[in-house]
Amino acid sequence: MTSPTPNAKLALAAWLETHTAFRLPAHANDLKSALNALDSTPEPTSYSAQFASLKRYFNRAIVVLMMFCALLGFMAVPPAFSINQSNQANIFWLFIILLGFHMLNLAVWTLTMLTTMKQQANSKGMLLSLLIFINNKVSKHSHIEKNVSAAYLHWQCPNHTNKWLISSLSHGAWGCYLLAGWIMTLLLLLTNQINFVWETTLLSDEAFIKLTQTLSVIPQWFGISLPNQLDILASRVDLISQTAATRQHWANFLLASIMIYGVFPRVFLTLVCLSIYRVKRAMLPLSTQERIIKNRYRQPESQSRHILDTEHNSDSQAGGEHISELRSELPKSAFLQHWALFEWSTETPRPLHPAKSLTMLNSREEQSHFLEVTHNEPMYLLVNARQSPDRGTRRFLRLARGHYPSLNLVLYDAKNSAFQDDWQRLARETRVPSTSLQSKD
C-alpha cells in the first residue's frame, strides 16, 4: 500500500491534533520521525493506512465514474444514427447528437469560469459531491475513523481548489463519453454502408455548404479527405445516389470532427485543470496547527532547551532579577479579565468562558492587530505548553510586553510537558510573569 506523502501526513496530523486526543511524539528528532507515528498508531489499522485506503477508494470512484460515462457514450451513438431503409443518416443531426450537448456544456463552463475567476467557489458540484458520498459510504463500511475521513476530504478537496478539481472531473467525464462515442461511430462505419444526407426547410443550401466548409478548416490541416462542394450538393436528400468516395469523405469528416472538436479539447482541458488544481493545492498556506507542528520539530530536542534567537539583549541578562519561578495557581479574579489565546488550535478552556474578552492570535493579521493596541488592564496570554516556543514566539512576547504592561503568560497543561523549562526560560528572558493552568481531562 502506498504511504501518504509528507504533506498529506502533516495535514492528517494537524487535523487529528486539533479534533482528537492524538499527539505526535514530543521527543522525535525531526518532523519526518514524528510523522512516522502515524504509521503505527492506532492498531491494527494505522492512521496512515486508513488515509491511504481513502485515497485509493477516491481514485477508484473516479475510474468507475469515467467508465460509466464511456458506457453512456457507447449507448448514445447507435440511436443517433437511426438509419432508414435506404441506409441514410442525417449528417448534421449526428453532429447535434454527438457534439451539440458537449459544445453547450463547454460554453456554460467557460462562462462560469470567467464570471467566477476572482471568487472562491466553496461549492463541490454534483460530480465531486457524488464521489465524496461514495467515499464516505465505503469508508464507513471499511471501519475508517470519521476524523481520518474528514482529514482526507479537507486535504483532497480544499475550498480554494474545488472548482479546478470539479472542472478536471467534468472534462474527464466528457472526454470518456466522446472517445467512446468516437469508437462506436468508427465501428458502425466499418460494419455498415451509410449514405450521409442532409435536408432543411428553413435554411438555404448555401448555409449548409458554408457550415461544412467552416468545420473542415482544422481537419484539412491534417491532410484528411473531406467533402467538397460537389459532395455536399450530392448529399441533398433524394437528389442522386452517393458514390463510395462521397461516403468516405463524409465518414472522415464525422470522425475527424468528433476527435478534433470533442475529444482533443476535453483531454487538453482535463490536463490543464488537473495541473492547476495540483499547483494550487501545493501552494495553499499551512494551517495554524501545521505551522505549530513544523516549528515544534524545526530543531532537534537537544537544541530546544537553548535560546532560539542568536541576538543578545539586556532583557535576557536581567530577566532573572525581575521574574520569579512559575506560580502554581491563578486567582479566581484572573478568569474575569482580558485573555488572548496564542496559536490556539483546540477548544477554549471552560474556565475562560466568563472572561471579559477572548482574543484569538492564530494568524499574522490577528497578532499584528493585537500589537497595535496599548492596554493597561491585566492581560493573560494563554499558550499550549506542550508546543515548543520558537523564535517568532519570543519576538511576539517582547513586543507584547511593551503594549501590555500587565501582561501575564499562562502555560496550559505545563505539568509533565517536555517544553515547560523552555517556556519558563522564555518568560524570564522577556520579563513576563508566568503561571500555569492545568486541564481537567
Q: Which residues contact 298 (CB under 8 A, 6 or more apart)?
A: 31, 390
- pTM, rounded to two decimals: 0.65
Q: Looking at the structure, do residues 273 and 422 belong to the same domain, yes or no? A: no
Q: Looking at the structure, do residues 229 and 264 belong to the same domain, yes or no? A: yes
- Asked if residue 169 is part of any domain, the answer here is yes
Q: Which residue has the higher pLDDT, 228 or 409?
A: 409
Distance CA 124, CA 342 (A): 33
- Asked if residue 298 is part of any domain, the answer here is no
Q: Looking at the structure, do residues 128 and 239 belong to the same domain, yes or no? A: yes
pLDDT digits 0-9 by tens, 189-211? 888 888 888 777 777 778 878 88
Specify the pLDDT at position 323: 39
Q: Looking at the structure, do residues 273 and 404 belong to the same domain, yes or no? A: no
pLDDT at position 438 over 70? yes
Q: Looking at the structure, do residues 206 and 163 belong to the same domain, yes or no? A: yes
Specify the pLDDT at position 269: 95
Q: Which residue has the higher pLDDT, 388 or 306?
A: 388
Specify the pLDDT at position 312: 40
Domain end point (choices 259, 288, 317): 288
- Asked if residue 143 is part of any domain, the answer here is yes
Distance CA 179, CA 258 (A): 8
Q: Looking at the structure, do residues 219 and 348 belong to the same domain, yes or no? A: no
Distance CA 397, CA 404 (A): 10
Q: Determine the average pLDDT of the residues in 21-46.
A: 82
Q: Which residues contact 198 (CB under 8 A, 6 or more apart)?
A: 90, 91, 92, 208, 232, 235, 236, 237
Q: Cell numbers 431503409 label which residue?
A: 85
pLDDT at position 240 over 60? no
pLDDT digits 0-9 by tens, 272-313? 999 999 998 888 887 777 887 887 776 544 333 333 344 444
Q: Looking at the structure, do residues 199 and 89 belong to the same domain, yes or no? A: yes
Q: Looking at the structure, do residues 163 and 42 belong to the same domain, yes or no? A: yes
Specify the pLDDT at position 85: 57
For residue 262, CA distances in Å to 101, 182, 259 come to 10, 9, 5
- Asked if residue 303 is part of any domain, the answer here is no
- Asked if residue 216 is part of any domain, the answer here is yes
Q: What are phi and psi of 355, to 5 degrees?
A: -60, 150
Q: Determine the average pLDDT of the residues in 402-428.
A: 82
CATH number of the domain at 374, please.
3.40.50
Residue of 137, 120, 140 lying closest to 129 (CA atoms): 137
Q: Looking at the structure, do residues 193 and 324 belong to the same domain, yes or no? A: no
Residue of 51, 73, 62, 70 lying closest to 6 (CA atoms): 51
pLDDT at position 335 over 90? no
pLDDT at position 372 over 50? yes
- Asked if residue 304 is part of any domain, the answer here is no
Instruction: For residue 250, give the C-alpha cell.
Output: 463524409
Q: Which residue has the higher pLDDT, 348 or 66?
A: 66
Domain end point (choices 225, 254, 288): 288
Count the domains in the chain.
Answer: 2
pLDDT at position 164 over 50? yes
Q: Looking at the structure, do residues 96 and 44 belong to the same domain, yes or no? A: yes
Query: Which of 272-281, 392-401, 409-418 has the least mean pLDDT?
Result: 409-418
**pLDDT tier at 255 (50, 70, 90 boundaries)?**
very high
Domain containing residue 377: 309-437
- Asked if residue 297 is part of any domain, the answer here is no
Specify the pLDDT at position 127: 62
Q: Looking at the structure, do residues 207 and 356 belong to the same domain, yes or no? A: no
Instruction: For residue 312, give the C-alpha cell.
Output: 543578545
- Asked if residue 34 is part of any domain, the answer here is yes
Q: Judge whether 50 and 148 are in contact, CB under 8 Å.
A: yes
Q: Judge whether 409 and 382 are in contact, CB under 8 Å.
A: no
pLDDT digits 0-9 by tens, 106-131? 999 999 888 877 665 555 666 667 76
Return the percentage of the chain with pLDDT > 90, whole number.
Answer: 14
For residue 63, CA distances in Å to 52, 67, 322 come to 17, 6, 66
Domain end point (choices 288, 318, 353): 288
Q: Looking at the structure, do residues 318 and 412 belong to the same domain, yes or no? A: yes
The secondary element (H helix, E strand) that includes residue 133 is: helix 125-141
**pLDDT tier at 324 (50, 70, 90 boundaries)?**
very low
Q: Determine the average pLDDT of the residues in 27-48.
A: 83
Q: Which residue has the higher pLDDT, 438 or 191?
A: 191
Taking residue 40's Cβ as centre, other Cβ atoms within 10 Å add up to: 11
